[in-house]
Amino acid sequence: MTSISLRAARFRPVSYLLALVSLAFFGCSRETPSSSGADSLRVGFSQIGAESAWRTANTESIQSEAAARGIDLVFSDAQQKQENQIRALRSFIAQDVDVIVLAPVVETGWEPVLREIQRAGIPVILSDRKVDVSDPSLYATFIGPDSVEEGRKAAQWLVDAAGGEAVIAELQGTPGSAPALARHKGFMEVIADHPGMKVVKSQSGDFTRARGKEVMEAFLKSPEGKDLTALYAHNDDMALGAIQALEEAGVQPGKDILIVSVDAVRGAFEAMVDGKLNATVECTPIIGDYVFDAAEALAAGEPVDKRIVVKGAVYEQDQAASLIDSRPY
């Protein structure tokens, strides 16, 4: 690939220095470089962690697509910590990768490191979550869902299913993360037009099944617990945890309490088949092809769209049985 040899031909003393420093400091980090040919595209991917079934499927999509294209992927798992992501990004600069892919755990706090990457001349692809920066030139493209729209769809489904009357608990995603902020915003926007729809409990369950269960237990024990008629979870994993909590408390999920969540992972389809989850808003994690189409274009110096929206449907209980076997994740 022309662009890669062009990049390699540029002598960057700072990069060499950083590479030495990085060897000293990051020698035993969690990075797993793949082993492709010397002239293949090198892409650094800073992944958030493995909080949900969605995230695991996303990692799989990125890794398998890189392997299929012979791309040398340097994968780094941040274990939910922004500081680990920033460290990984600096290590990618030091390694002089051709393109950086970042799935940012939270929305803010990225400007300084994105500037460092920009100074090093490395294009950045934001994968599945956006960042809040004042200068949009700090990244090349953002590939991911419209999470505000996902929140609106969940709310509209609930308004219709509950006939405009519901006492709602909300399980939010990771605090400060783009999908948590946006899925809350979109949901509230729609229910604002329906005075009979009230959110009486709202707390983060960190996008995990375990926290979803714990927080739902606390909701049920709260004074508002016995009045709840609906649950909105920002992802399926938290809904699945909450379903467990409801059952343990003798409340029938999907019947006594209507439940809508986001992602449409296989576990959500299983819960819908069992009548325990009512609906899920699709958000596909299978975005490896979009990400590497963009990475290859950027490395070749070609333009890419600043925003690539990944779309999804809404699935309800009565569709679940016929679709479950064809779900890709």
User: d(Cα 129, Cα 320) in Å, to the nearest integer?
Assistant: 27
93 versus 148: smaller Cβ distance to ligand GYE? 148
Stretch that binds ligand GYE, among 15-23, 47-55, 189-197, 312-320 (CB under 6 A): 47-55
Segments in 194-274 forming alpha helices (H): 209-221, 236-248, 266-273
Minimum Å gap between C-beta 262 and ligand GYE is: 6
Minimum Å gap between C-beta 52 and ligand GYE is: 4
Q: Contact between 77 and ligand GYE (CB under 6 A)?
A: no
278 versus 284: smaller Cβ distance to ligand GYE? 284
73 versus 238: smaller Cβ distance to ligand GYE? 238
User: d(Cα 318, Cα 272) in Å, to the nearest integer?
Assistant: 8
Angle, alpha carbons 61-62-66 (nearest 5°): 115
Angle, alpha carbons 307-152-306 (nearest 5°): 5
Q: Contact between 46 and ligand GYE (CB under 6 A)?
A: no
41 versus 124: smaller Cβ distance to ligand GYE? 124
Q: Three-state SS for 98?
A: coil
Q: Contact between 243 and ligand GYE (CB under 6 A)?
A: no
Please count the residues of this chain forming the interface with ligand GYE, following the rule CB under 6 A.
12
Which residue type occupies 278? N
Long-range (24+ apart) CB contacts under 8 A made by 57-63 are 57/265, 57/285, 57/286, 57/329, 58/103, 58/127, 58/128, 58/285, 58/286, 58/287, 61/285, 61/286, 61/287, 61/288, 61/329, 62/101, 62/127, 62/287, 62/288, 62/291, 63/288
Q: Contact between 209 and ligand GYE (CB under 6 A)?
A: no
Q: Contact between 54 and ligand GYE (CB under 6 A)?
A: yes
288 contact partners, CB below 8 Å, separation of at least 6: 61, 62, 63, 64, 65, 66
91 versus 177: smaller Cβ distance to ligand GYE? 177
Minimum Å gap between C-beta 225 and ligand GYE is: 25
Question: Are residues 76 and 45 in contact, defined by beta-carbon separation less than 8 angstroms?
Answer: yes
Minimum Å gap between C-beta 20 and ligand GYE is: 35
Return the residues of window 249-308 that contact ligand GYE according to CB under 6 A: 262-263, 283
What character string, x for contact with ligand GYE (CB under 6 A) and - otherwise, covers 169-198? ----------x-------------------
Stretch that binds ligand GYE, among 27-35, 49-57, 82-90, 211-219 (CB under 6 A): 49-57
Stretch that binds ligand GYE, among 19-27, 39-47, 50-58, 251-259 (CB under 6 A): 50-58
Return the residues of window 108-147 that contact ligand GYE according to CB under 6 A: 128-129
Q: Contact between 235 and ligand GYE (CB under 6 A)?
A: yes
Which residue type occupies 142? F
Minimum Å gap between C-beta 142 and ligand GYE is: 12
Provide DSSP, 292-303. HHHHHHHHTT--
User: d(Cα 265, Cα 50) in Å, to the nearest integer?
Assistant: 14
Which positions lie near ligand GYE, rule CB under 6 A?
51-52, 54-55, 128-129, 179, 207, 235, 262-263, 283
